[in-house]
Amino acid sequence: MSRLEVLKTYKIFIGGKFPRTESGRYYKAVNSKGVPVANICLSSRKDVRNAVQIARKAQGPWQERSAFNRGQILYRIAEILEGRSSQFVEELMLQDYSKINATKEVEAAIDRIVYYAGWCDKFNQVSSSVNPVSSSHFNFSTNEPVGLVGLLLPESSSLLTLVSYLMPIIAGGNSCVLIASERFPLTAITFAEVLNTSDVPGGVVNILTGAVAELWSPLSTHMDVNALSVDLKSPYLKDIQLAAVENLKRVMCMHSADEQGLVNITDFQELKTTWHPIENIGGASNSY
């Protein structure tokens, strides 16, 4: 007698837990031949609000961790993904990838995570400055995370796109509420399992699945979201930009997933300039 396969239930990821959508709704993800591959949570605006609330609380402690520690955690994500790479290859193949392309995709994603892991404790050294002001002050500018970033992944999203856009956000100390691709949601949820076993504190990354048409609005109008990362080709781009005006969210249009670089991190950083007087009394000179 053949063994009955145990099917996986795909749930959403909020605050380090895997709840079902509070709405109780689902949709069927299908492959290119229209064959259903899984039931996926159809998240609601309430799920977005829950996720934002939790991401807000998680952001401060994440920012306050040492940059070195964030680097270690990101590297840990790469380690765990490497160990589970065959699962991701299979899942990508369910979504019509060839085995070769799926393998390449997973390997590239792992390497991309390692790349941003290395940036965590370096980007601020490269992008900050000590400013030679004319008055007797010590003056320097450093980056600080913009805060909570809403990430709307493009519909073509695969594993590589997800990590390419997510990693620079969290490397810089931001928390994130991520709306997965409606067409390719499987790897996003399985990736949440990787995050959850990689010492990423609960709430730093929250992953929702569902209809982008329904979810872009609660995310881009939420007053506790500081910035949005949106696909340049998103049909909702203009609406999102308009919605973002209310609290002046920074809306960043995505660079290609093929690119990696410092700018992907600094796009989600503020710059803070600090001044302090230099006491100049007594008349001692700095000459030898």
Partner 1 sequence: MSTENKNWEYADAVEGTGHIKLKEKYGLYINGEWVAPRSKTYFSSTNPHDEAHLAEVAQANKQDVDAAVIAAERAYHDVWSKITPAERGKYIFRIARLMQEQAKELAVIESLDSGKPIREARDIDIPLACNHLFYYAGWADKLDYAFPNQKKEPLGVAGQIIPWNFPLLMAAWKIAPALATGNTVVLKPAETTSLTALKLAEIIDEAGLPPGVVNIVTGFGDTGAAIVAHPKVSKVAFTGSTAVGKLIQKTIAGTDKKATLELGGKSANIIFDDAPLDQAVEGIINGIFFNQGHVCCAGSRLFVQENIADKVIRKLKHRMQSLQIGNPLDKNTDIGAINSSEQLKTINKYIDIGRKEGSECFQVDCALPNKGYYCKPTLFINVAQSSVLAQEEIFGPVLTIQTFRTIDEVIQKANNSPYGLAAGVWTDKGSKIFNLTSKLKAGVVWANTYNKFDPASPFGGYKESGFGREGGLHGLGAYLK
Question: Binding residues for partner 1, per CB under 8 A?
Answer: 129, 131-135, 137, 139, 141, 144, 226, 237-238, 241-242, 244-248, 250, 261-263, 270-277
For residue 210, the minimal CB distance to partner 1 (Å) is 24
Nearest residue to 165 (alpha-carbon basis) of 47, 58, 252: 252
Give the residue with the Cβ less far from partner 1, 34 or 277. 277
For residue 258, the minimal CB distance to partner 1 (Å) is 15
Give the residue with the Cβ less far from partner 1, 97 or 216. 216
Q: What are phi and psi of 274, to 5 degrees?
A: -115, 135
Give the residue with the Cβ less far from partner 1, 102 or 146. 146
For residue 264, the minimal CB distance to partner 1 (Å) is 11
| 126-123-112-235 Cα dihedral, nearest 10 degrees | -100
Give the residue with the Cβ less far from partner 1, 131 or 156. 131
Strand partners for 229: 151, 252
Residue type for position 103: T
Element (H, E) at 168: helix 159-171
For residue 221, the minimal CB distance to partner 1 (Å) is 14
Angle at 20 between CA 15 and CA 25, to 5 degrees: 135
Q: Residues 70, 168: contact at Cβ < 8 Å? A: no
Give the residue with the Cβ less far from partner 1, 98 or 129. 129
DSSP strand pairing (36-41 vs 26-30): antiparallel
For residue 112, the minimal CB distance to partner 1 (Å) is 17
